[in-house]
Amino acid sequence: MRKVKAAVAGAVIGLAVLLTPAAAQAEDNGNGNSTCDRYEICFRALESHTRFSVNWNFSHSFYYSYGAHSLIRVYNNDHAWSGTLGNKAIGFWNRDSECRVQILDYDTYGYEWFYADLPRDYRGDAGYSMNDAHKRCNRW
Amino acid sequence: MASERWSPSTSERRWARLAAAATAALVAALTATACGGDPPAGLGAVDERNPLAVFLGESLGLIDYAQLKLRNECLAGAGYPQNLETMMDQPVPAFSMFVITPRTFGPTTEQEARRIGFGRDEQAEPSPVVSSDPNYDRAIDSCGGKAWDRLGDDVQDAYYAYFDLGNKISGTLMTTISERLDKSLPAKMLACVRAAGYDADDERQFLKTPRPALLGVPFGTVDPAPDTGWRPARKPGTIEVGPAIPARPYRPTAQESELAVAWLRCREQTTLADQQLTAAISVQKELVAKHETSFVELNPRIRRIAKQATELIGTS
């Protein structure tokens, strides 16, 4: 029978295990430019900081789905400060060539749920506060 | 419909009773807000199992797919077949998770809990098509506009307005459901998993967000995709097609499968599962009533456009 489990990881580590993306997506940052270009899926983040008022333009872009924005490091415009994209996105631009894009995160009890479905060519600043992952052409 | 994904069970019958009661309340609420006590024109019958079935997600997905297919056929006619050759072969329903079932909140049988743990299988993704050719860029813009025109007048407005409506609902649906749950449930879940032999490494965090990932058990992964790190070379004048990503299964660890079974039992013992369904139906009812005007205005337009889409591409 199962015995009481030893605590082996903190909350952040535990979530990181759950949210680890597939290796195929690990290097995805679109075409590598800091702009949001045609055919990319782009996220804009905003974060207040004691030293910087950071309002990243389109902080990170993708060509594929990605399961853990908490693993994406983004920088402010002069690279003086960085942080994780996480679920800080406040703006989205879906320029994908073929797909709608679902914005996903976990509910209170840890089950994945989608918080938005962005059509092609949609650009907006709606604040879907739960946005730690995204999926292209997803069927659920 | 997604409601066919689950099989009859005790929880289904219990849920059906909850749904029937909530639907009666919904009908009453909608009737009360309509002029003269008549049901609001255009909203149609309410699905007794899921009030948000009034959201026409399949029609919206069909419209989206039709515009894409018409655009890609136009592109192929202009000498750019890449998109048509790689696009998905069927529509993807929009907001399909609005159809809430017991499965929405996790596995409903011990067999399923063992198989999938806390993960999800990944579905296939079509290739991204990336142009470094300004002629192609102009063609895709032109073909996209023509595709919208073939679907009718003011179609784009209705299409984006309906996505806005869906996103207003999806942005608050699950968070509101969670807010409605009994505040003692996290402590009850913790006591239950402790009785099953597990413990949270951070009790305070677990009581705030009672997630199984906080129970110190290693989780599995989705099988890696065969192609990694693709990035277009961006040679001027070229159109590049990235690798498509195949569907891949999620493979839980043995410990995760075991925990998933215990978690399912605790969800039932603490009434978390029942409360989630009850709250879901109640919140859906409120959201339908809140956005009734938008539904009444947009649903007939979406139905009309979907009919035109079916006639154009032959998909029902």
Nearest to A63 among B128, B160, B196 (CB): B128
- Which residues in chain B are closer than 8 Å to A9, comparing Cβ atoms? 201, 216
- Which residues in chain A are closer than 8 Å to B228, comparing Cβ atoms? 23-24, 26-27
Written as six digits, the tokens of B92 are 């993807």
Q: Which residues contact A123 (CB under 8 A, 6 or more apart)?
A: A91, A92, A93, A94
**pLDDT attached to residue A112:** 84
A69 neighbors A133 (Cβ within 8 angstroms): yes
pLDDT category, A8, cuts 50, 70, 90?
Answer: very low
B186 neighbors B207 (Cβ within 8 angstroms): yes
Alpha-carbon distance of B116 to B225, in angstroms, equals: 19
Say which residue the tokens 């067999």 belong to: B111
Say which residue the tokens 């409601």 belong to: B3
DSSP letters, B204-220, are HHHHHS--GGGSS----
Find the domain containing A66 and state its range: 27-136
A132 neighbors A69 (Cβ within 8 angstroms): yes
- Is the CB of residue A12 less than 8 Å away from at least one CB of chain B? no
pLDDT at A34 over 60: yes
**pLDDT attached to residue A106:** 82
Task: Please give the mean pLDDT across all residues of chain B.
Answer: 87
Alpha-carbon distance of A15 to B302, in angstroms, equals: 39
**pLDDT attached to residue A36:** 84
Q: Which residues contact A137 (CB under 8 A, 6 or more apart)?
A: A98, A99, A100, B88, B92, B123, B124, B125, B126
How many C-beta atoms lie closer than 10 Å to residue B63's C-beta?
27
Mean pLDDT of A74-90: 74
Q: Report the gap between the CA of A11 and the closest CA in chain B (Å).
A: 6
Residue percentage of chain B with pLDDT more than 70: 84
Q: Phi then psi for A115, rounded to 5 degrees?
A: -110, -10
pLDDT at B4 over 70: no
DSSP letters, B146-166, are HHHHHH-TTHHHHHHHHHHHH
Alpha-carbon distance of B26 to A76, in angstroms, equals: 48
**pLDDT attached to residue B310:** 96
**pLDDT attached to residue A139:** 85
Judged by average pLDDT, the poorest of A49-63, A114-128, B59-73, B299-313 is A49-63
Asked whether residue A8 is domain-assigned, the answer is no
DSSP strands (E only) in A33-128: 41-48, 53-62, 73-75, 82-84, 89-94, 101-106, 112-118, 123-124
pLDDT at A13 over 50: no
**pLDDT attached to residue B26:** 45
Asked whether residue A9 is domain-assigned, the answer is no
pLDDT at A25 over 50: no
Q: Phi then psi for B56, rounded to 5 degrees?
A: -90, 65
More confident residue, A25 or B148: B148
Residue percentage of chain B with pLDDT more than 90: 76
pLDDT category, A57, cuts 50, 70, 90?
Answer: low
pLDDT at B69 over 90: yes
A19 neighbors A61 (Cβ within 8 angstroms): no
Task: Please give the mean pLDDT across all residues of chain A.
Answer: 72
Mean pLDDT of A111-137: 84
**pLDDT attached to residue A127:** 60
pLDDT category, B200, cuts 50, 70, 90?
Answer: very high
Written as six digits, the tokens of B6 are 């689950």
Say which residue the tokens 């969670």 belong to: B178
- Is the CB of residue A4 less than 8 Å away from at least one CB of chain B? yes
- Is the CB of residue A8 less than 8 Å away from at least one CB of chain B? yes
DSSP strands (E only) in chain B: 129-131, 221-222, 239-241, 250-251
How many C-beta atoms lie closer than 10 Å to residue B46's C-beta?
21
Query: What is the total count of domains within chain A?
Result: 1
**pLDDT attached to residue B155:** 96
Written as six digits, the tokens of B141 are 């813009």
Written as six digits, the tokens of B252 are 């839980």
pLDDT at A3 over 50: no
Q: Report the gap between the CA of B189 and the closest CA in chain A (Å).
A: 10
- Is the CB of residue A87 less than 8 Å away from at least one CB of chain B? no
Does ipTM surpass 0.85 in this model? no
Cβ contacts below 8 Å, chain A against chain B, sum to 204
Asked whether residue A20 is domain-assigned, the answer is no
Asked whether residue A35 is domain-assigned, the answer is yes
Q: What angle do CA B294, B166, A127 make, to 5 degrees?
A: 115
Alpha-carbon distance of B219 to B212, in angstroms, equals: 10
Judged by average pLDDT, the poorest of A17-31, A104-118, B203-217, B287-301 is A17-31
Mean pLDDT of B82-104: 93
Amino acid code (one letter) for B28: A
pLDDT category, B115, cuts 50, 70, 90?
Answer: very high
Asked whether residue A126 is domain-assigned, the answer is yes
**pLDDT attached to residue B268:** 97
pLDDT category, B44, cuts 50, 70, 90?
Answer: low
Asked whether residue A18 is domain-assigned, the answer is no
Asked whether residue A131 is domain-assigned, the answer is yes
pLDDT category, B138, cuts 50, 70, 90?
Answer: very high
B287 neighbors B169 (Cβ within 8 angstroms): yes
Asked whether residue A11 is domain-assigned, the answer is no
Q: Report the gap between the CA of B311 and the closest CA in chain A (Å).
A: 22
pLDDT category, A89, cuts 50, 70, 90?
Answer: confident
**pLDDT attached to residue A51:** 47
